Structure 1
């Protein structure tokens, strides 16, 4: 068994983690007061309800950022090996970029990039 040392390490660290977590739960101070359970906002009383949801536009812009960020991670290996690729590799990446550009144009036309409506 090649990974016996790693298995022993995982068992010991898991057991130790459970023991420390249990000890902190058992020995911890459990008398919350209003000051301790109140919402903290930079030392001031909160101005608004802290449970207000974010705007859907915020999530849409975040998802679009992730999509185009992933595009860069797909293009990096191509850029590194560009000189060694055949012409087919070049056209596959151009097709990939064309499809992403069409998606960006569609989002732009539909108003997905506008913050205010």
Structure 2
């Protein structure tokens, strides 16, 4: 049991070291002097002409959010599938309820037109 917690501790320490290492490295190597050219807006190398404010349709964001939500929820299916034989009937019924909730959410999004591209 201690070896399981040891692996978790190692992952935690490595994650903290990588996060702190990136922050410390960016602090060490960031440019100290700014010039007007460095402060200009970079947009694919082309200077913008006219107003640059563009409104996006919210359906693109809803479509992306639905993808992320259903993608993250499918992650819960993998550990269940690995331990399926040892979990028993109760876990099977719980997963059927979970999948039913996902299907209801997908049906609602479809009914509201969130999956329509245009």
Give the TM bin, normalised by the shorter chain: 0.5 to 0.7
Structure 1 pair 24–88 and aligned structure 2 pair: CA distance change class (3 A):
closer
Question: Which range moves more in the overlay, 69-78 or 50-59?
Answer: 50-59
Mapped partners of 1:48, 1:92: distance in 2? 56
Q: CA deviation digits over 1:45-85, x for unaligned, max 9?
A: 23664453543112211211121112211111100001112
Question: Any gaps of 5 or more consecutive residues in structure 1?
Answer: 1-5
The CA RMSD over aligned residues, in Å, is 3.1
Who is 1:3 aligned against?
A: none
- On the 8 A contact 1:61/1:113 being kept in 2, the answer is yes
TM-score normalised to the size of structure 2?
0.64
Higher RCO structure, 1 or 2 (CA under 8 Å, sep 6+)? 2
**Cα pair distance change 1:46/1:79, threshold 3 Å:** same
- Runs of 5+ consecutive residues of structure 2 not aligned to the other structure: 1-12
Aligned residue pairs total 98
TM (norm. structure 1) is 0.65
Task: State which of 6, 29, 33 in structure 1 corresponds to 2:33.
Answer: 29
Name the CA distance, whole Å, in 1 between partners of 2:29 and 2:78. Answer: 48
C-alpha spacing 1:21/1:67, structure 2 compared with 1 (3 Å): closer
The structure that has the greater radius of gyration is 1
